[in-house]
Structure 1
Amino acid sequence: MTTKDTGTPWRHARGDVAFAIVNYAGFVLFALVCGYPFYYLIINSISANDLSALGDVRLFPTGIHLENYTQIFGLPGLTGSLLVSIARTVIGTGATVLASAFLGFMFTQERLRHRSLWYRLVIFTMYFNAGLIPVYVTIHTLGLTNNFWVYILPAIVQPFNIILVKTYVESLPASLQEAAEIDGAGIVTIFFRIMLPNMTPILATVAIFSAVAQWNSFQDTLLYITDQRLYPLQYRLYTYLNQANSLAQAAQNAQGDLGAIASAATTQTPTSIRMTIAVIVVLPIIFVYPLFQRYFVKGIMLGAVKG
């Protein structure tokens, strides 16, 4: 027996439907498993703090309120750290993307003198480095300690990103550049007017890598920064998590007389502080992925495999 429209055997058609159902069910289950930790953070950050501290909030928020966020943003230094993280992410990502695009493009140009040598030197840094102490001495000598630019300058040139861009550019038709050269365009014009607009998928991939790395980074703060005004949000989170108990007590004391009559549902606890700050840190970077998702797969595949 076959289907009326296509002549496909019924057994084969039913097998395809069954496979599709199982396939989609598996992906939905996997998505739920991956998404639940973030959902758990959010519902606990807006639920009654006494119930959250006891672990009673698991599936649905209970006693919804937003006082946690109001009080957390009132903690000293948090707003400034948020601005530092946003600034380093935006500036650092833009600089890294532009540098990766230009270097990746230039390493495809046969006219570049000693092109293979420079490319090998860049790749060499992926496997070997001077070590922590020489790097620190270099950073200190350049005057970048306790300087905002220590977050930006050392991270601009990333060999892995350059490899991706170079391979992607090599997959583009050579006729694009040849036609521009015939019209008299120089190398800078070709890069900005011809090549850069055609690099969107791979540059979106590089932007994701760079933005996530910049937003989540805190080790450079630990090594090079002692000025608390330059602490990014991640490092501030680290210090707050270590001080959650004292911060909860400070938040309660800051309420003064109101604290004595405040509901237990809105009184800060170490758990509420951890959950709320974690949401503040995680949510912005989560929103980056949907914006670049349509470019990500195409960019990483074309940038990794030539042809």
Structure 2
Amino acid sequence: MKSRASRSTAPVMRRSRGEEVYNVFNILFFIAFAFVCVYPFYYLIVNSISDNAASAAGDVNWWPAGIHWENYKQVFALDGLTTAAFISLARTVIGTALTVIASAFLGYMFTQKKMWHRAFWYRFIVVTMYFNAGLIPMFITMKNLGLTNNFWVYVLPAIVQPFNIILVKTFVESIPDSLQEAAQMDGAGTLTVFRKIVLPMCTPILATVAIFSAVGQWNSFQDTLIYMTDSKLYSLQYLLYTYINQANALAASVKASSGTAMNMAALATQQTPTSIRMTVSVIVVLPILFVYPFFQRFFVKGMMLGAVKG
């Protein structure tokens, strides 16, 4: 009875008028912010499945009009699309895996005081963030190494990323030294400590590095433009970029023609540059967009812990 009485007489914490106003404003602000972030993707999707003439005229903003899937059928019917998709997937998977391994190992080694000239090699890598040889020297280097028209030009130059190494190094420095010292006293070597102690504890920051690398590899198309002339090695993004340019040229030629009713009807029923841009953007964005939710919890934790110490 006494406990019930004490609970009933306990003071109830009431929010002040200012706190209630702040909470309402905070909720409304984040709802508006979420809408601003989500709406562009929604806009792409509804325009890609709507009537092409209405989409080109800018009449589709909220709800799809004349839903059809011809845009996706025509895009997926492109020659070489399957091969290009495989190239993009392969470079994303292999490049991300090698980048994560290299970043994890180098970030760990740069925390080891017994590493030979540790400070020099660390500064040697970091300085590359500020200086770049330029496009022509890079192309000449890749050509002399035999990497032009070679799949590995997508992977090898991106393995060592100074920013990722800094993130991992900072994260490893937050791990108590006593864990590594205890393992070394039990006879564990440097690689054993890295594989069994450090690597399992670096999951958050490695997931962050994986997201950075995967997004960069998947979205990249400029390296294809510079280093590739073999169409069998074209990436998906480059192939779709080429398709967009061809569609723009086709639409321009139709508009510059006699402008008969037949041409105008064809323009209304066939793909337009707007519908092509929307469809291609959806195809490129959605696969990598689905990856992020699986890494979100690791991404937030990794970025917070990786930025604690300088």
TM-score by length of 1: 0.88
Percent identity over the alignment?
A: 67
Aligned partners of 1:214, 1:151: CA distance in 2, in Å? 8
Deviation track 1:268-303 (CA, whole Å, cap 9, x = no partner) reads: 333222211110001112112211111112211211
Aligned to 2:22: 19
Instruction: For residue 58 of structure 1, report the CA deviation from its aligned partner.
Output: 0.8
> Which stretch shifts more, 271-280 or 164-173?
271-280
Aligned partners of 1:171, 1:220: CA distance in 2, in Å? 36
Say if 1:56 and 1:4 are closer, same or farther in 2 by CA, change over 3 A. Answer: farther
Aligned partners of 1:245, 1:110: CA distance in 2, in Å? 58
Aligned to 1:257: none
Is the 1:237–1:277 Cα contact (8 Å) retained in structure 2?
A: yes
**Equivalent residue pairs, number:** 294
Instruction: For residue 134 of structure 1, report the CA deviation from its aligned partner.
Output: 2.2
Aligned partners of 2:270, 2:136: CA distance in 1, in Å? 45
Aligned to 1:219: 222
Aligned to 2:284: 281
Instruction: For residue 45 of structure 1, report the CA deviation from its aligned partner.
Output: 0.8
Aligned to 2:258: none
Matches within 5 A, 1:73-88: 73-88=76-91
Instruction: Please state whether the residue corresponding to 1:243 is helix, strand or coil.
Output: helix
1:99 matches 2:107: no
1:61 matches 2:88: no
Aligned to 1:126: 129
Aligned to 1:291: 294
Matches within 5 A, 1:99-248: 99-245=102-248
Say if 1:266 and 1:306 are closer, same or farther in 2 by CA, change over 3 A. Answer: same
Aligned partners of 2:250, 2:85: CA distance in 1, in Å? 18
Aligned partners of 1:245, 1:228: CA distance in 2, in Å? 21
Instruction: For residue 114 of structure 1, report the CA deviation from its aligned partner.
Output: 0.8
Is the 1:244–1:274 Cα contact (8 Å) retained in structure 2?
A: no
Say if 1:265 and 1:185 are closer, same or farther in 2 by CA, change over 3 A. Answer: farther
Q: RMSD of the TM alignment (CA)? A: 2.5
Is the 1:49–1:267 Cα contact (8 Å) retained in structure 2?
A: yes
Letter matched to residue 243 of structure 2: Y
1:269 matches 2:272: yes
Aligned partners of 1:5, 1:291: CA distance in 2, in Å? 43
Letter matched to residue 29 of structure 2: G
Unaligned runs of 5+ in 1: 250-261
Instruction: Please state whether the residue corresponding to 1:64 is helix, strand or coil.
Output: coil
Instruction: For residue 160 of structure 1, report the CA deviation from its aligned partner.
Output: 0.7
TM-score by length of 2: 0.88
Instruction: Please state whether the residue corresponding to 2:59 is helix, strand or coil.
Output: coil
